[in-house]
Structure 1
Amino acid sequence: MGNRAYNFNAGPAALPLEVLQRAQEEFVDFKGIGMSIMEISHRSSEYEQVHNETQELLKRIFGIPAGYQILFLQGGASSQFAMIPMNFLRAGQVGSYVLTGAWAEKAVQEAALFGEVAVVASSKEQKFMKIPDLSGLSLPANSSYLHVTSNETIEGAQFQSYPETGNVPLIADMSSDILSRPVDVSKFSMIYAGAQKNLGPSGVTVAIIKDDLLQDLPKTIPTMLRYETHSKNNSLYNTPPAYSIYMVNLVLKWIEEQGGLTVIEKNNIEKSGLIYSAIDNSNGFYRGPVDLGSRSTMNITFRLQDEELEKKFIKETEQQVFVGLKGHRSVGGLRASTYNAVPYTSCKALAEFMTDFQQRNS
């Protein structure tokens, strides 16, 4: 389809064209049942097959070992910021957090509403332009868990490796880089992600939780905010976001068709490398503020010499059907989000535009 925009939106974000076309084919009549999947009961055999298959696909693609449960939740990652301390932060214990950007800050703020919080490492003094060195990380002895944000969508900094936490459960918000590369899931007690960047459309949040983390949860938590509720009912206690889960199913099948996460990671490095090369070879015309060792392959942030030139850049890109390149309102600048579904051709076109724009404005 030649009229597709170059979509660099940060989320909701690009979906694979093949997935959209498959969904379009099945939209009115899902597998010959005479109804859309949006119209059928979540208790029907047709929907339950999609629901369970999606869990199995994620286990296989992400290499999730035995002893973990996959939950389909609602409320986005932002709801998890509160649910995690509600369920896991016990009296007399501390929720430990690594502060790496705007989303990590929001997680800390929510946790502080429910109990004691310790920021055990932070890059705030560096304006979140790098991931803190966690090689010598020391955690409070009474830590309930350590929470990290694997990729900061706004600032563009990403963990390249994860800390060793011993007996302290490691929890990660992977909303903006889940399934962008292979990860040793066994290092984590919980991984969660809003779907609207690498998994599918908005509306569903995926939580991968180790079984032992779900033991002896407080009974005073409201029913819908208790992980145990969703675990015991296969995420079907209430009506799930059925269509969003169906779309996640199609995205997971697409990832397998690409060759799995090793191929996806290779593609993401190549795609982001095109844009980083345009920045690094510009003799200072473009500036990439994030430390080289913390650069994200998902969210590439950069600046120009002044805001007027950045406005001109945005105006011209919009005229050429580039979408989503304005930086987050809280930090300004420019940002290209190059999630799994953003094709190589889009990144190549942006890199070529950047070079041309530099030549015309130097």
Structure 2
Amino acid sequence: MPTREEITYFGAGPASLPTTVLQNASSAILNFQNTGLGIAEHSHRSALSSDIIATTESSLRNLLSIPKDYTVIFMQGGGTTQFSAVPYNLLGYWKLKRARMDYAVTGGWSQKGSEEAKRLYGDESVNVITNSKKVFGSYGGIEEEKEWKRTEGEERVFTYYCDNETVDGVEFPGFPSSLEGGVVAADMSSNILSRRVDVSRFHLIFAGAQKNIGTTGLTIVILKSSILQTQPTPTTLRALGLPIPPIMMDYPILAKSNSLYNTLPIFDVWIAGEVMKELIAAGGLAKQEEVANRKAERLYAALGRAPGIFKIVPLEGARSRMNICARAQPVELEGVFLKGAEERGLLGLKGHRSVGGIRISNYNSIREVDVDTLVQYIDEFGQRNA
């Protein structure tokens, strides 16, 4: 059996965590701060748990420079729950019963988000402003913004997009300029804390923790506090014939209870806080962005040195720094590549089950030395099979 030091896990999620955080967690799970109880055993209503929530939120605000008029909520249910929660909670901006939600569909996750909005509110309420599969034949790029078919006027209540699509390795290079000044909701589950973000451009950001933040089971929501004050009452929603959000998706209720309306997984919040502390100590997101970009450049360059063996999936302008996706040519070489990688302790490189191929997830926990090892293997594989 290999030791932790002998492998590098490039899986897309749950992703690997810093070894130092796990070492601290192994002690915390047995006896946290000399209390005689493990961290997972402490009441979520205790002062200790409240301090963990406050400390983690403070670190998140530090890293992302979150403005004071924004609220942070810790939730459960992953990004999939937010596919429902986002349209439910942005109802406060609806002036009329007939309103449109704009969705940029650039991959499988934004597609799922748009489908859930349609399921809840009907096809007529959802406007897909761009669909990469229709434009490019697959989810391999992002259409130019000037071609997006946006809803005009006050009928558009918000625009939704996924900042990084893990399945096909598509990432927005930055905030879409055409959305400036509007109500914008973004799924940042797979690239949050990998680069600097101007939170003030968004009304809502959500992220599952299991890529760059921590363990599976925690979801972070960052939202403009005005959203919490403009929610229609259940009576108003009934009168409009609109659905009422389940209580565990109701942002105002969760915010009012400091994320503790029900039993929050405090251990997961603590893990996230420990990861954030390490990021701050290492230089914050300016430094992390440099590292992430450098690692991604090395990986794309290595694949590009063997164009007859590896075909990079997304178009150059939309290539993800977090999920580098490629196909081996001929396809039979993919199994050979993956087997050889596993023999070298390079794990988790198989592409998503829906598309296959090779996927290198370059999350924050992946060290530059790990990338160097993989780059060396890619080069050797390319030369051997040329």
- CA deviation profile, 1:98-155 (whole Å, cap 9, x unmatched): 0100001000000001221001122113112112222565433211110010000001
Residues 125-164 of structure 1 aligned to structure 2 (within 5 Å):
125=134, 126=136, 127-135=138-146, 137=148, 138-141=150-153, 142-163=155-176, 164=178
Structure 1 counterpart SS, 2:41:
coil
Residues 237-248 of structure 1 aligned to structure 2 (within 5 Å):
237-248=261-272
Confirm or deny: 8 A CA contact 1:15 1:200 kept in the other structure.
yes
Amino acid at match of 1:187: R
Instruction: Tell me which residue corresponds to 1:22.
Output: 24
| Residue 270 (str. 1) matches residue 294 (str. 2) | yes
Structure 2 counterpart SS, 1:182:
coil
Instruction: Tell me which residue corresponds to 1:335.
Output: 359
For the aligned residues, what is the CA RMSD?
1.5
Structure 2 counterpart SS, 1:247:
helix
Q: Deviation of residue 228 (structure 1)?
A: 1.1
Confirm or deny: 8 A CA contact 2:180 2:201 kept in the other structure.
no
Cα distance in 1 for residues equivalent to 2:11 and 2:218: 18
Instruction: Tell me which residue corresponds to 2:116.
Output: 110
Confirm or deny: 8 A CA contact 2:66 2:199 kept in the other structure.
yes
Amino acid at match of 2:170: A
**Larger deviation: 212-221 or 307-316?**
212-221
Instruction: Tell me which residue corresponds to 2:79.
Output: 77
Cα distance in 1 for residues equivalent to 2:307 and 2:207: 37
- Taking a change above 3 Å as real, the CA distance of residues 292 and 35 of structure 1, as seen in their structure-2 partners, is same
Confirm or deny: 8 A CA contact 2:74 2:219 kept in the other structure.
yes
Instruction: Tell me which residue corresponds to 2:129.
Output: 120
Cα distance in 1 for residues equivalent to 2:373 and 2:341: 11
Confirm or deny: 8 A CA contact 2:309 2:385 kept in the other structure.
no
Cα distance in 1 for residues equivalent to 2:15 and 2:4: 19
- CA deviation profile, 1:264-313 (whole Å, cap 9, x unmatched): 01111111112111111114321112111111110000111122110111
Instruction: Tell me which residue corresponds to 1:37.
Output: 39
Cα distance in 2 for residues equivalent to 1:168 and 1:262: 26
TM-score by length of 2: 0.91
Confirm or deny: 8 A CA contact 1:143 1:168 kept in the other structure.
no
Q: Deviation of residue 212 (structure 1)?
A: 1.2
Amino acid at match of 2:195: R
| Residue 207 (str. 1) matches residue 218 (str. 2) | no
Confirm or deny: 8 A CA contact 1:38 1:243 kept in the other structure.
yes
Q: Deviation of residue 167 (structure 1)?
A: 4.8
Residues 1-362 of structure 1 aligned to structure 2 (within 5 Å):
3-89=5-91, 90=94, 91-115=97-121, 116-125=125-134, 126=136, 127-135=138-146, 137=148, 138-141=150-153, 142-163=155-176, 164-218=178-232, 219=234, 220-362=244-386
Q: Deviation of residue 239 (structure 1)?
A: 0.6
Amino acid at match of 2:292: N
Confirm or deny: 8 A CA contact 1:71 1:230 kept in the other structure.
yes
Structure 2 counterpart SS, 1:301:
strand
- Taking a change above 3 Å as real, the CA distance of residues 268 and 88 of structure 1, as seen in their structure-2 partners, is same
Confirm or deny: 8 A CA contact 1:94 1:140 kept in the other structure.
no
Structure 2 counterpart SS, 1:240:
coil
Amino acid at match of 2:199: V
| Equivalent residue pairs, number | 362
Q: Deviation of residue 16 (structure 1)?
A: 1.1
Identity of aligned residues (%): 37
- Taking a change above 3 Å as real, the CA distance of residues 166 and 358 of structure 1, as seen in their structure-2 partners, is closer
Amino acid at match of 1:278: A
- CA deviation profile, 1:151-193 (whole Å, cap 9, x unmatched): 0000101001222435531100000000100011100000000
Higher helix share: 2
Structure 1 counterpart SS, 2:310:
coil
- Structure 2 unaligned spans of 5+: 235-243
- Taking a change above 3 Å as real, the CA distance of residues 208 and 118 of structure 1, as seen in their structure-2 partners, is same
Q: Deviation of residue 234 (structure 1)?
A: 0.7
Cα distance in 1 for residues equivalent to 2:4 and 2:226: 50
Confirm or deny: 8 A CA contact 1:178 1:198 kept in the other structure.
yes
- CA deviation profile, 1:245-274 (whole Å, cap 9, x unmatched): 110010000110110001101111111112
Structure 2 counterpart SS, 1:250:
helix
Cα distance in 2 for residues equivalent to 1:58 and 1:237: 21
Cα distance in 2 for residues equivalent to 1:66 and 1:146: 23
Q: Deviation of residue 232 (structure 1)?
A: 0.8
